[in-house]
Structure 1
Amino acid sequence: MNDSTEQPLHETLLHDALHTHVQESGDSTAGPYLAGLADGALRVARRRQRLARAGACVAAAAVVAVGAVAVADGTTTQHAHVVQPAAGDTGNTAKAALLSILPVTSSTETACTHGSGGYTVDASATHPAFCVKADRTKGMTGVRVASAKAGRSTLDGTWQVEVTLTPADRTRFAALTGSIASAPPPRNGFAIVIDGKLWGNPSVTASITGGRLEIVGAYVGDLTSTTAHDLALRLNADG
Structure 2
Amino acid sequence: MNDSAEHPLHETLLHDALHAHVRESGGHAAGAHLVGLADDALRVARRRQRLARAGVGVAAVAVAATAWVAVAHGATPGAHVVGPATGGGSGNTGKAAPVSILPVISSTEHACTHGSGGYTQHGSATQPAFCVHADRSRGMTGVRVASAKAEKSTVDGTWQVEVTLSPADRTRFAALTGSIAAAPVPRNEFAIVIDGRLWGTPYVASAVTGGRFEIVGANVGDLTGATAQDLALRLDPGK
TM-score by length of 2: 0.62
Report deviation, 1:78.
Answer: 4.1
**What is the CA–CA distance in structure 1 between the aligned matches of 2:158 and 2:12, rounded to whole Å?**
17
SS at structure 2 position matched to 1:71:
helix
SS at structure 2 position matched to 1:200:
coil
Aligned residue runs from structure 1 range 1-239, under 5 A: 71-72=12-13, 74=16, 75-76=18-19, 77-78=35-36, 94-238=94-238
Report deviation, 1:230.
Answer: 0.3
| Dislocated runs of 4+, deviation >6 Å | none
* CA shift digits 1:80-106 (9 cap, x unpaired): xxxxxxxxx9xx652211111000001
Report deviation, 1:110.
Answer: 0.4
**What is the CA–CA distance in structure 1 between the aligned matches of 2:36 and 2:130, rounded to whole Å?**
34
**What is the CA–CA distance in structure 1 between the aligned matches of 2:154 and 2:107, rounded to whole Å?**
28
**What is the CA–CA distance in structure 2 between the aligned matches of 1:108 and 1:174, rounded to whole Å?**
27
Identity over aligned pairs, percent: 72
**What is the CA–CA distance in structure 2 between the aligned matches of 1:127 and 1:195, rounded to whole Å?**
25
Q: 1:230 to 1:143 in 2, by over 3 A?
A: same
The number of residue pairs the alignment matches comes to: 158
Q: Larger RCO: Structure 1 or Structure 2 (Cα < 8 Å, ≥ 6 residues apart)? A: 2
Q: 1:154 to 1:174 in 2, by over 3 A?
A: farther
Give RMSD over aligned pairs. 2.0
When you count helix as a share of all residues, which structure comes out higher?
A: 2
Contact map agreement 2:122 2:218 (CA 8 A) in 1: no
Report deviation, 1:127.
Answer: 2.3
Report what 1:50 is aligned to. none
Contact map agreement 2:105 2:134 (CA 8 A) in 1: yes
**What is the CA–CA distance in structure 2 between the aligned matches of 1:180 and 1:216, rounded to whole Å?**
21
Contact map agreement 2:96 2:235 (CA 8 A) in 1: yes
**What is the CA–CA distance in structure 2 between the aligned matches of 1:189 and 1:122, rounded to whole Å?**
17
Contact map agreement 2:159 2:223 (CA 8 A) in 1: yes
Q: Which amino acid aligns with 2:200?
A: G
When you count strand as a share of all residues, which structure comes out higher?
A: 1
Q: 1:121 to 1:93 in 2, by over 3 A?
A: closer
Q: Which amino acid aligns with 1:102?
A: L
Larger Rg: 1
**What is the CA–CA distance in structure 2 between the aligned matches of 1:144 and 1:109, rounded to whole Å?**
31
Which residues of structure 1 form unaligned runs of 5+?
A: 1-69, 80-88
SS at structure 1 position matched to 2:141:
strand
Q: Which amino acid aligns with 1:173?
A: F
Contact map agreement 2:124 2:219 (CA 8 A) in 1: no
